[in-house]
Amino acid sequence: MKTSTRLRSYYREFSFVVKGLLSTKHPILAHVIPIRRCNLSCVYCNEYDDFSAPVPTDVMFRRLDKLAGLGTSAIIISGGEPLLHPEIERIIAHIRKRGMIAAIISNCYLLTREKILALNQAGLEYMQISIDNVNPDEVSKKSLKVLDKKLLWLSELADFKVNINSVVGGGIKNPQDALTIGYRAVELGFASSLGIIHDGLGTMKPLQGKEREVYLEMKHLGKKGHTRVNYFQDNLVDGKPNNWRCRAGARYLYICEDGLVHYCSQQRGYPGIPLEKYTFDDMRREYLTKKACADYCTIACVHQVATFDFWRDPQTLGVKGAVRRDAVKAIQQSVYQIE
């Protein structure tokens, strides 16, 4: 990353933090889906299909304008696979035009040298790449062997920051692969992080054996970016709940391809209000609403956003969401998926 670009990025990050601390009356982060379709079909994933058309670009612009009007600080573009959207660069450029931080989560199969330069030009600031294993298998094709050439291109050409996220749990055969991927990320100058595979409601099983060892080693590997705000995982790997105030629906918004506001990718349906009708009153209500799924939640971005408000505003409204504490045992026996 060029020095001038890096300095601008640091300034925008500082402004992001200050704004989040000074006021609770705006979303810190919105997760927006421009296309549900994906070019892969990872066994553990419940966030894609193989047929959906991209959201029209003018519709995406209206949604981004609405989020900017709500005071949103940062946008993560995800999917599906967002690089399948034919005008993804225009969407990213519009995020920047409206003064918001622009990030993307991609499997990077579609990444080329030309695409990296186009993303630079659009103003992309962060990219997260999920790599599940060293060699592709029937669970996931997102492998280091397939993607390493693209990582080299990113190391050479990208003006934006890159984080490589590897995973443990949920059918991943070789937990040690996460360390191999993490060390490769550090070698190339990228940040690295570890995701713990969760179920379709955002909760998880305790980690044991080799998975636990890998988790502990990964905690001390590489750069200390925002992706390392992962203190909440320490309890989860032991099967213990976290006592925190989830601000989903207020400080964090998940906007699906249909333009509805949800708590997160694993709690679609709550509150389920169209974004164009979403108000500051809706955000205040959800800010003060306890989330039934919070105790065992693994959704990193929601936890990271909540750190801005740990010290203020107890949640006084009734519990909402799909998961209750008395359902935890059933949850932990279910089929596990990844964020």
For residue 199, what are the CA distances in angstroms to 39, 56, 95, 325? 22, 31, 31, 15
Domain residue spans in the chain?
3-337
Superfamily for 3-337?
pyruvate-formate lyase- activating enzyme (3.80.30.10)
Beta carbons of 2 and 120 less than 8 angstroms apart = no
Residue 222 confidence class, pLDDT cut points 50, 70, 90: low
Instruction: Specify the pLDDT at position 266.
Output: 85
> What is the pTM assigned to this prediction?
0.86
Of 37-46, 191-200, 239-248, minimum mean pLDDT range: 191-200
Which residues, 6+ apart, have CB-to-CB distance to 27 below 8 Å? 67, 70, 71, 72, 73, 250, 251, 252, 253, 283
In the chain, the percentage of residues whose pLDDT exceeds 70 is: 84
Over 90: is that where the pLDDT of 35 sits?
Answer: yes
For the record, the structure tokens of 310 come out as: 């740990």
Over 60: is that where the pLDDT of 307 sits?
Answer: yes
> Tell me, what DSSP letter sits at residue 295?
G
Over 70: is that where the pLDDT of 309 sits?
Answer: yes
Instruction: Specify the pLDDT at position 120.
Output: 97
CA dihedral 80, 83, 84, 86 (to 10 degrees): 140
Strands (E), 142-228: 161-168, 191-196, 198-199
Within 10 angstroms of residue 121's Cβ, the number of other Cβ atoms is 12
The pLDDT tens digits of the residues spanning 147-196 come to 999 999 999 999 999 999 887 765 567 878 888 999 999 999 999 888 77
Over 60: is that where the pLDDT of 1 sits?
Answer: no
Q: State whether residue 114 is helix, strand or coil.
A: helix
Compute the average pLDDT of residues 189-207: 68
The pLDDT tens digits of the residues spanning 242-287 come to 899 999 999 999 999 999 999 998 888 889 999 999 999 999 999 9
CA gap 92, 94 in Å, rounded: 5
